[in-house]
Amino acid sequence: MSYRAPVSDIAFTLKHAAGLKNALAEGIYGDLDEETVDSVLAEAGRYASDVIAPLNSVGDKFGTPFKDGTVTTPPGWKKAYTDWAAAGWNGLAAPADWGGQELPHALNAACIEMWNGASMAFGIGPVLTMAAIDALHAYGNDKLKQEYLGKLVSGEWMGTMQLTEPQAGSDVGALRTKAERANGNYRITGSKIFITYGEHDLTDNIIHFVLARLPDAPQGTKGISLFLVPKILPDGSRNDVRAHSVEHKLGIHASPTCTMVYGDRGGAVGFLIGEENKGMACMFTMMNRARLAVGLQGVGIAERATQHALAYARERKQGPASAIIAYPDVRRMLLTMRTLTGAARAICYATGIAIDRSMRAKTDAERKSAHERASLLTPVAKAFSTDIGSEVASLGIQVHGGMGYVEETGAAQHYRDARIAAIYEGTNGIQALDLVTRKVPLEGGKTVNMYIDELRRTVKSVQSSNAPEFGETATRLGEAVDSLECASRWLLAQKASDAALAGATPYLRLFGNTAGGCMLAEEALASLRTGDGTSRSVFARFFAENIAIQASSLERSVTEGAGSFADAQAALAE
């Protein structure tokens, strides 16, 4: 069972739940029109479904063999990547001055979902290049941009993002890779682990974006600088950086995860991006985009697992029913998969629209407010979507029964692939902390409260639609919004106390369930309005009555749960 990009669902969510239609009508994107958006989505869907998706299981089996310092990518991957880049997909949202098409980030988000639905191991490489483009564009000097930006935008060269060291994972401030000033540039020595696409044969040059510390730098994150370290230097010589090994891992087998070594010959030449000791600010530009993109990996893999399970459930016969899809428990699983995927998709695309508005809205005030919205939604987009990616892939196996557990059907690959997305780009635990300690308190809580008001308006619209298809949707979503509001108020009062940190993960889930439920309802309202003939109200209702309804328990877990494990450290240590 292969993957068919769900282009019409994607377009509908983008326009009606995420707000692309309104943004187009307001002229946020100049003269861009819906027809252009539709044709970009259709073409991306075709490439993802017909070219990338068939490579997914080839990549899983072949992996990334490593010999004499080089990585061989699976058969067919280089051609698929080269054609993909030549078609301009890498630069879809990149600046026009550097060869990009400057189309909406939200549209790029939809395409990123499709590349990753087709193959997560393929999709993650360009995600890092796109993030590198953003950082170089925002912070690089003119000379570096001239040398590297155009080739990164075209995809002729790919980028990497290098933070992690054995002692420095979530705690990036503990990193030890050294940078020393030399001949107007820098020499980098040290090593990095777990570097995605750190070495490969897809492009002739690989541009590493490396965090390192100067000898006189302050401790912690305030002493980190960002360097551009090309594999091949501008004079054509090989820089002093190499892959030492490639990890063997649970999933995304075709994405090479490398240990990198710097300085066998005295130090790799590095070029400073931004200012010395201000590397974290530059890296955050990369990380925020990459976090949304990893959230989209969660959506993509959930979509693929859902398609797979649906196809199986329509065919598989057991017992008296004509196929297992007729059984309520199987339908419950399939509806859970379908609606969690739709909810996460809408949250991710809405984050993309907020990013676009933060860059393109007409007034400073609108851009600032959109920036805050994007900041609020980014950890939710990342963590909610990747959590549900694993859950949906797990349900996908369950729908297949024993055939899901064996590798033959491919359902097991989705489960193995999905798992990493909750770990890299900041673990989901770290995303929840970011939401609770930095994002909820934005503007003294105004940002989150404005968002909650917006969700309430959706609830009111469902209520006043009086459409019988909605069942108890308005009531359940209204209760969920109440819970989100209470939990947010409680967290704001707590500040970053241990109790607040303990409730961070259930709070993020409460946020995702409530926002996702409201966005599915927005979609259903639009579907009724436009008479598009789909059953979106079935999905909105299922989600509200079966998933959003968990809000009050999650609220209590946030506000009352901490007591039960405040003193648990000793018990766990026994």
Catalytic positions are: 425
- Interface with ligand FAD includes 71 (CB under 6 A)? no
Our CA angle for 456, 459, 461, nearest 5°, is 110
What is the spatial distance between Cα 176 and Cα 79, in angstroms, rounded to a whole number?
38
Q: Which residue sits closest to ligand FAD, CB atoms considered?
A: 169
- Interface with ligand FAD includes 195 (CB under 6 A)? yes
- Interface with ligand FAD includes 416 (CB under 6 A)? no
Least CB distance to ligand FAD at residue 200 (A): 12
CA atoms within 13 A on the CB side of 106: 36
Least CB distance to ligand FAD at residue 139 (A): 18
Beta partners for 66? 71
Element (H, E) at 208: strand 206-212
Q: What part of residues 221-250 is at the interface with ligand FAD (CB under 6 A)?
A: 249
Size of interface with ligand FAD, in residues (CB under 6 A): 19
Q: Choose the stretch contacting ligand FAD; rule: CB under 6 A; options: 191-199, 277-285, 329-337, 372-380.
A: 191-199
SS3 for 75? coil
Of 13 and 160, which CB lies nearer to ligand FAD in the complex structure? 160
What is the spatial distance between Cα 477 and Cα 513, in angstroms, rounded to a whole number?
9
Q: Choose the stretch contacting ligand FAD; rule: CB under 6 A; options: 423-431, 453-461, 508-516, 527-535.
A: 423-431
Of 277 and 427, which CB lies nearer to ligand FAD in the complex structure? 427
Least CB distance to ligand FAD at residue 199 (A): 12
Q: Choose the stretch contacting ligand FAD; rule: CB under 6 A; options: 158-166, 361-369, 553-561, 564-572.
A: 158-166
**Any residues with CB less than 8 A from the CB of 400 and at least 6 apart, and which?**
308, 309, 312, 409, 411
Single-letter code of the amino acid located at 206: I
What is the spatial distance between Cα 464 and Cα 471, in angstroms, rounded to a whole number?
13
Is there a contact between 316 and 323 (Cβ–Cβ < 8 Å)?
yes
Of 23 and 433, which CB lies nearer to ligand FAD in the complex structure? 433
What is the spatial distance between Cα 131 and Cα 283, in angstroms, rounded to a whole number?
9
Least CB distance to ligand FAD at residue 426 (A): 6
SS (HEC) of 362-419 = CCHHHHHHHHHHHHHHHHHHHHHHHHHHHHHHHHHHHHHCHHHHCHHHCHHHHHHHHH
Token code pair at residue 129: 């290049």
Of 64 and 488, which CB lies nearer to ligand FAD in the complex structure? 64
Name residue, tokens 């073409």.
43
**Any residues with CB less than 8 A from the CB of 389 and at least 6 apart, and which?**
297, 298, 299, 301, 302, 344, 418, 421, 422
Exactly one of 312, 424, 539, 543 binds ligand FAD (CB under 6 A); that residue is 424
Least CB distance to ligand FAD at residue 250 (A): 9
- Interface with ligand FAD includes 420 (CB under 6 A)? yes
Is there a contact between 123 and 3 (Cβ–Cβ < 8 Å)?
no
Exactly one of 29, 84, 157, 194 binds ligand FAD (CB under 6 A); that residue is 194
- Interface with ligand FAD includes 385 (CB under 6 A)? no
- Interface with ligand FAD includes 429 (CB under 6 A)? yes
Q: Choose the stretch contacting ligand FAD; rule: CB under 6 A; options: 69-77, 105-113, 192-200, 362-370.
A: 192-200
Is there a contact between 256 and 64 (Cβ–Cβ < 8 Å)?
yes
| DSSP category for residue 232 | B
Of 23 and 273, which CB lies nearer to ligand FAD in the complex structure? 273
- Interface with ligand FAD includes 163 (CB under 6 A)? yes
For the beta carbon of residue 58, count every other beta carbon within 10 angstroms: 14
Cα 176 to chain centroid distance, Å, stands at 28
Q: What mask, x for binding ligand FAD by CB under 6 A, covers residues 487 to 506?
A: --------------------
What is the spatial distance between Cα 64 and Cα 258, in angstroms, rounded to a whole number?
10
Of 47 and 194, which CB lies nearer to ligand FAD in the complex structure? 194
Least CB distance to ligand FAD at residue 425 (A): 6
- Interface with ligand FAD includes 169 (CB under 6 A)? yes
- Sign for the CA dihedral angle at 48, 54, 56, 62 comes to negative
- Interface with ligand FAD includes 164 (CB under 6 A)? yes
Q: What part of residues 254-293 is at the interface with ligand FAD (CB under 6 A)?
A: 257
Of 104 and 169, which CB lies nearer to ligand FAD in the complex structure? 169
Least CB distance to ligand FAD at residue 503 (A): 13
Residues of this chain that interact with ligand FAD (CB under 6 A) are: 161-164, 169-170, 194-196, 249, 257, 420, 423-424, 426-427, 429-430, 433
